[in-house]
Amino acid sequence: MFIRPTIREAPTTERDVFAFHIIGEVTADDMSAMADYMNTQFDKHDTVSMLLMFDIYDGAERGASFDWETLKSRVRALGKVRRYAVVGGSDAAKQAVEWSGKMLPVDARSFDAANEDAAWAFLGAQRA
């Protein structure tokens, strides 16, 4: 189970579905640790699905997205993530997810906080 101060994994009913709560301002260390964790999961599974739930999101620490593990996981995700869902978050984040779903080989959707159950159903999993 992945637990950091600003990113916490939520248990799921499916071994290839990974769900995370995002809380506050995501630090560079937490983002790098999550990227390392997901790179390990990419090694273990042919494909995965991911759910990010923005509980209280205050953005990311400056430069958090540019560490090597984070960049590597983003590139690897293109071939490893089959479904990607985001619950809550800013309008800009929702638009980015929707755009990604149209431009990249991943089925990506965003959901309002009130529709978290629909996001779980989209991934074919439930909270364990």
Domain ranges of the chain: 7-123
Query: Tokens representing 38?
Result: 């997901």
Contacts of 73 (CB under 8 A, 6+ apart): 34, 35, 36, 38, 39, 42
Q: What was the pLDDT predicted at 73?
A: 83
Of 3.30.750.24, 2.160.20.10, 3.50.50.60, 3.40.50.2030, the CATH number of 7-123 is: 3.30.750.24
pTM listed for this prediction: 0.89
Q: What was the pLDDT predicted at 22?
A: 94
Q: What was the pLDDT predicted at 85?
A: 94
Beta-strand ranges (E) seen in 1-112 are 7-10, 17-26, 48-60, 81-88, 107-111
Q: Backbone phi, then psi, for 124, in 5-degree steps? A: 75, 35
Q: Backbone phi, then psi, for 36, in 5-degree steps? A: -60, -45
Tens of pLDDT, residue by residue over 28-86, are 999 999 999 999 999 999 999 999 999 887 777 777 776 777 778 877 888 899 999 99
Tens of pLDDT, residue by residue over 105-115, are 889 999 999 99
